[in-house]
């Protein structure tokens, strides 16, 4: 089955957002570990379950990236972007600027694979 143009656009946009989050984390030397949830129903359900009901889409499942600090839901990419623009991203992550977090970022790669980034406290 060939991907439709709109599918490719959505995947490219998700990939771009994912890269934006990763670049920020790497630039700020925040360690992370990727956890692939593509083949793990348990991890995928954890992601869905831990996004507050008021942040769930009206239809379907939340699109990545979704960002967590420990098990606390921080927000989606739009919230992350707004916090970057207002210089409040560390607060958004629940951190002081000098601390490395334990944060999970859930995303979808270009090939449609869902992954979790686990960011660890030192």
Determine what percent of the chain falls in helix, strand and coil, rounding each to the nearest 5.
40, 20, 40
Distance of CA 44 to the CA centre of its chain: 13
Residue with the bigger pLDDT between 52 and 6: it is 52
More confident residue, 86 or 110: 86
Could you count the other beta carbons within 10 Å of the beta carbon of residue 73?
16
| Percent above pLDDT 90 for the chain | 25
- Average pLDDT in the chain: 77
Instruction: Tell me the mean pLDDT in the region 86-110.
Output: 71
% of the chain exceeding 70 in pLDDT: 66
pLDDT tens-digit map of 29-71: 876 666 566 678 898 888 889 999 999 999 988 888 888 888 8
Q: Which domains does the chain have, with CATH numbers?
A: 5-119 (3.40.30.10)
Least confident of 10-24, 82-96, 103-117: 103-117
Segment 78-84 mean pLDDT? 95
- pTM for this model (two decimals): 0.71
Cα dihedral sign for 27, 28, 30, 35?
A: negative
Partner residues linked to 103 by β-bridges? 69
Provide the pLDDT confidence category of residue 106 given band limits of 50, 70 and 90.
low
């Amino acid at each position: 089955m060939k991907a439709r143009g709109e599918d490719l656009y959505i995947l490219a946009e998700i990939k771009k957002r994912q890269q934006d989050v990763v670049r920020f984390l790497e630039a700020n030397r925040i360690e992370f570990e990727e956890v692939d949830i593509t083949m793990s129903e348990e991890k995928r359900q954890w992601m869905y379950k831990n996004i507050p009901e008021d942040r769930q889409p009206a239809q379907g499942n939340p699109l990545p990236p979704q960002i967590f600090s420990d098990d606390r839901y921080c927000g989606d990419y739009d919230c992350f972007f707004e916090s970057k623009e207002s210089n409040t991203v560390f607060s958004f992550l629940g951190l002081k600027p000098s601390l490395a977090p334990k944060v999970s970022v859930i995303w979808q790669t270009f090939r449609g694979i869902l992954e979790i980034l686990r960011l660890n406290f030192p």
